[in-house]
Amino acid sequence: GAGVSQTPSNKVTEKGKYVELRCDPISGHTALYWYRQSLGQGPEFLIYFQGTGAADDSGLPNDRFFAVRPEGSVSTLKIQRTERGDSAVYLCASSSTGVGGYTFGSGTRLTVV
């Protein structure tokens, strides 16, 4: 597609539930990134994919968070046993050429009630 698409745009879930957030990168972009932006903060790195593999998952806060990119295109961020502190905007970005070639999506606003 023309840009990075993230669905859903907004998600409200109950504490303890499981959620999946989807990211559709720009076609042909091999690198894909997930960031979390809490209220009043800048985005914080979660995980980076190069192709199908997670090249760097050092930003994932705990084992409730997991992400996949099985075919090297669409990625899904999965959060188990959601907590109120998981409420944030989850941003996805993709890139083909590295620095300067990033395109961000409009994010998914997750609210855990």
Name the site residues for another protein (rule: CB under 8 A). 31, 33, 35, 40-45, 48, 55-56, 59, 89, 91, 93, 99-100, 102, 104-107, 109
- The 3 state secondary structure assigned to 69-107 is CCCCCCEEEEECCCCHHHCEEEEEEEECCCCCCCEECCC
Bridge partners (DSSP) of residue 49 are 32, 54
Least Å distance, CB 16 to another protein, is 26
14 or 40: CB nearest another protein: 40
Spatial contact of 26 and 103, defined as CB atoms under 8 Å apart: yes
Least Å distance, CB 65 to another protein, is 16
Least Å distance, CB 100 to another protein, is 5
25 or 43: CB nearest another protein: 43
